[in-house]
Amino acid sequence: MLAHLYYPTRQFMILLSLLTVSSLPVLGTGCSSSEPTEYRQFSETIDEHSQKTDQESKQTAATPPTITNQAIAPEEKLTEPEQIANHASPVPTENTTNQVTTKPGPAMQAPAMQAEEKAQVETATLVARKPDPKDRALTDQEKKALAASEPREVKILVKERSFRKTKPENALLINYDDIDLLKVMNMEPVTLKAPELMPQWLKDLDGKRIQIRGFMYPPFQQTGNEFFQLARDNQICCFGKNPKIYDLFPVVMRDGVTADYILNRPFDVVGVFHIKAETIDGELERIYLIDDAIVVDK
């Protein structure tokens, strides 16, 4: 037998060929006995799984959403937009008392958001609004300021007044207290009716030559001034004091006479005194005037 393996004869080769041919059907039967699906490539399995997943996704999207835990009457049916809105809402959650609460959809949230925005606007307006003094208790200083802003009852406080004459030009000697309407007749603020309500002795000064001492309000030039403003004191322009209408009035120099600027020192003015209420744009601008004046600087 070993000799036939190492040195095969013709008859032996024929026998071996017959045995090989006869065994082929047996091998073919064994391979085809199983189902075709049991022996497949791995790529075919992946493709079929992907196709199955796509089909399930399409079926889920095509299936209309079901509404649960909604208090809807049997005869009521939701329209398609309402179903979509409810389907987009978050999934209901259960609280400790096993009650299901559902967060309202966008249609229900709109009124609440508008109310919240309105409340924020109202709050910002209240914060930005300037406080009204009437909403709180006023301080003593504020009470005095408020009382001063209210019109006073006009009444004659100085009923009689006489003046002496002085040189030069035999003028009546007066001072700012004599023409102070608050001290003379309790008038604050001064109105257009002031000349009519003045006491008779003050009315008699109209058209008379007087002499009064005051300060020169800074004019437009240092020398050659034909007119200027006479002030009660030197704090009116330098320290921001708001002068009363009777504390600052114009002085018109005599023809051919001028005045130099007198800085921060009092001097006397002699001239004709006039009482006349004058307005500019409906507001009282001046009530006193001195003309035909000269400056007496001693």
How wide is the angle at C-alpha 46 spanned by C-alphas 40 and 50, nearest 5°? 140
Q: What pLDDT is recorded for position 172? A: 98
SS3 labels along 222-251: CCCECEEEEECCCHHHHCCCCCCCCCEEEE
Q: What pLDDT is recorded for position 140? A: 81
Residue 175 domain boundaries:
165-296
**Which CATH number characterizes residue 251's domain?**
2.40.50.870
Domain assignment present for 6: no
Q: Residue 209, Cβ neighbours under 10 Å: how many? A: 17
How wide is the angle at C-alpha 102 spanned by C-alphas 99 and 106, nearest 5°? 165
Least confident of 48-57, 75-84, 88-97, 181-190: 88-97
How wide is the angle at C-alpha 181 spanned by C-alphas 242 and 200, nearest 5°? 155
Average pLDDT over residues 74-91: 52
Number of domains in the chain: 1
Average pLDDT over residues 220-227: 95
Judge whether 246 and 281 are in contact, CB under 8 Å.
no
- Give 3's DSSP letter: H
Q: What pLDDT is recorded for position 224? A: 96
Q: What pLDDT is recorded for position 219? A: 92
Partners of 271 in beta bridges: 210
* Distance separating alpha carbons of residues 29 and 43, to the nearest angstrom: 27
Average pLDDT over residues 63-70: 52
Domain assignment present for 201: yes
User: Is residue 182 over pLDDT 90?
Assistant: yes
User: Is residue 92 over pLDDT 60?
Assistant: no
Q: What pLDDT is recorded for position 243? A: 84
DSSP 150-178: SPPPP--S-------EETTTTEEE--GGG
Q: What pLDDT is recorded for position 128? A: 54
Lookup: tokens for 17: 């060929």
User: Is residue 216 over pLDDT 80?
Assistant: yes
Domain assignment present for 76: no
User: Is residue 223 over pLDDT 80?
Assistant: yes
Helices 106-128 & 80-88 angle (0-180, nearest 10)? 70
SS3 labels along 71-89: CCCCCCCCCHHHHHHHHHC
CB burial of residue 271 (10 Å; 0-12, 13-18, 19+) = buried
Max CA pair span of the chain? 180
| Greater model confidence, 9 or 274 | 274
Q: What pLDDT is recorded for position 137? A: 72
Q: CA quadruple 257, 262, 268, 274: dihedral positive or negative? A: positive
User: Is residue 72 over pLDDT 50?
Assistant: no
Domain assignment present for 196: yes
User: Is residue 13 over pLDDT 50?
Assistant: yes
Please give the share of the chain, as a percent, with pLDDT higher than 70: 56
| Greater model confidence, 199 or 12 | 199
Average pLDDT over residues 19-25: 70
Please give the share of the chain, as a percent, with pLDDT higher than 90: 42
- Give 183's DSSP letter: H
Q: What pLDDT is recorded for position 33? A: 47
CA nearest 163: which of 152, 171, 153, 154?
A: 171
Average pLDDT over residues 14-28: 70
Mean pLDDT value across the chain: 76
Lookup: tokens for 62: 């095509």
Q: What are phi and psi of 128, to 5 degrees?
A: -80, -15
Domain assignment present for 223: yes
Judge whether 274 and 221 are in contact, CB under 8 Å.
no
Domain assignment present for 120: no
Average pLDDT over residues 187-192: 93
* Distance separating alpha carbons of residues 160 and 16, to the nearest angstrom: 167
Q: How confident is the model at residue 262 (pLDDT cuts 50, 70, 90)?
A: very high
| Greater model confidence, 17 or 112 | 17
Look at strands 171-173 and 165-166 and give their pairing.
Answer: antiparallel
Q: What pLDDT is recorded for position 207? A: 97
Q: How confident is the model at residue 150 (pLDDT cuts 50, 70, 90)?
A: confident
Domain assignment present for 214: yes
